[in-house]
Structure 1
């Protein structure tokens, strides 16, 4: 007698099960394999239903007094289960029949990818972003909500002090700042705000080496009661209409939509079919494009204001370039692109506003990453000539012909691109910022030979105040 071959491991097993609940939606009897899933999910028999999708369906059937038939999806940490459930409500509970039970091993998740997705969620809901040096001292800070505008203003006006000087860390009596790993995820209290806040610290630099600096994000799990209240500090740092009135009202709900969509897409909130995970990814992408457009329109209104000016200071262009490369390093590595930034110890003094120079360089390097082919290289070079300091961002992308070079800095100019969510404002705003700092932004390119964008600012000369 010939023994039939075993089914390959990828073929799911098919089972059915009968179960019963009481009037309090407790599972009082269950066949295998439902019984095993209930136990693996931390439940018991008799006991509360530990399978979220089944608990929801039973509760709805009993509340409505109607028979319900639907598919459910569940997981126990090792397997993903799908089944067809039919629930018949009775006087003392519900009768449950599960059919077409299929189980598959869960795919092995990349821990680094999970960490990146969780960080993306934290960034989206953050209402304050600050840049810190290697000792956690503030380099600059910016608020995304009026509630934290005063905190951002205090931090930005006292650069060089530890960020922990501006907030309270409940339950911590140790000298601040602590090691960054102890502060990452720590609860913090903000003067003037009743909401609980959480700090997220992201090290910047090469993996395996000591951080060259940090990105700090403050976010809250509780939404603000209102974003429209008057705030004199916010009024000073926001633009006239979009920045002060519309942007704060829109930014937080859109950011929460993105964060929730990312949570759903990543299945952090529970199992989900691939189709609906893709829908959530589309929602998150659309939200990110909308948020970027709001930010661009806010910056546009700022730079086009008659009284717009920058806050010149003595900065090191090499350090700003290294920080821009560090911030975009993960995105570059995902595409196999190497960013060749100025080496540690290399320096180029200049007179400009640190935050605005960083904003311009992030735009230039971000554009280079968008157009550079995978596996290529992006160079950030420094030049000092005749009292001027220059940063050159060069890529190996398709380049620009003379007609494109004449149009690339125009407002809303996207050079025929579509589908990338860009507003066509980044280079226009960057050039306005460069000229407001007493410099300029130019391009040198040729089709098939990449592009070289050159940011020029005054060298380190005495500044009249």
Structure 2
């Protein structure tokens, strides 16, 4: 029986630190060594005859012994459980339980070896608690935190890392993590990493990830070597999302660029305004000088009639030029303030073309330039202000004649286009340089192709009138091959007066 332990064997078992316990078939204690006395606090006499599961308040022992009994000659069963001491204290126990058999193979009891593992369990609990705290910190960290081996392979990274580059740890294995680096930064970052890792030095880089969802994520990456007995074994690193900072820098740079451009535009506008004012002042001074000179001549007695007529004509032309210049300045001001008035009616464009060409034909003939026009449909009507549209045609024809050399040609064309009419003024002048094209409608801007400087308001006014009609105007030009100015206005049927 398990309780019949020889004296010499009992003495030997008393020297072991573990608790050695023998039980009979009824799971009652028949042997309780000194290790058991030290572990649980009961003497052998107190424990003898007690049901082990009841004494230690460990129902799991009864279940374990029942399982062993049903399995016959089964190997020892191990388990860990919480038990109670005599003084009420609890302890963790690691137990090994075996079935004892007689010579005929019948179960006659059990032998148990118990070891106090309370300290180990407490250490494990503290470790688990520490790991849980660390995991919580890593999960909540606003920084990406990773651990890499010396070959640059990721061993661990927290959720923030995955959020930044979009890779799971499995995806990032080997050099997979480098695939998330923006192609423009990849070679630089990988090279600097291996250079630092090879020397066992800290590493730092600013670079971009190309996230799986297509986003570009700017990060500041830093890593420091981890040492074991003075030998580097890997790196622990951080990734800080600096995308908002980079966006702010880009926004600030765009604002600075915009500010510089606005300042440059203001300076250009001021310069062009000053130049225009100088031209306006010069023209007005010439007109006034002409008028004063002619008036002085007219005051002379006995002035021949032919000279008197010439002087009166000169005064009239100077007055008309002055009026035209003042009208342009007023129109430009109204356009800029949005107060240009448009009085709509049905306008016959064929008749308007004829009238405009008739007005400009003497000037064209004087310059030796051929002037012609064509209207695709005789019944082309638009909804607009006849006086203002005539002003547009005369401005464009005047501009084309200024820029066309003798023996050149200026053509006026009109055709239906969508819900409106497209008008084109073509010339065979020397064209406009590409860099000047975006500016020809700017206020005070003057094309260098013109044979004579002006106030630089004609095309600005033309654009304002066209847009006030709901149309648009644009230019097509190739240096050396002439220029075509096109504009559109709504057809009368599309926008009745």
TM range (shorter): 0.3 to 0.5
Q: Which has the higher contact order (CA 8 A, sep 6+)?
A: 1
TM-score (norm 2): 0.37
TM-score with structure 1 setting the length: 0.39
Structure with higher helix content: 2
Q: Highest CA radius of gyration, 1 or 2?
A: 2
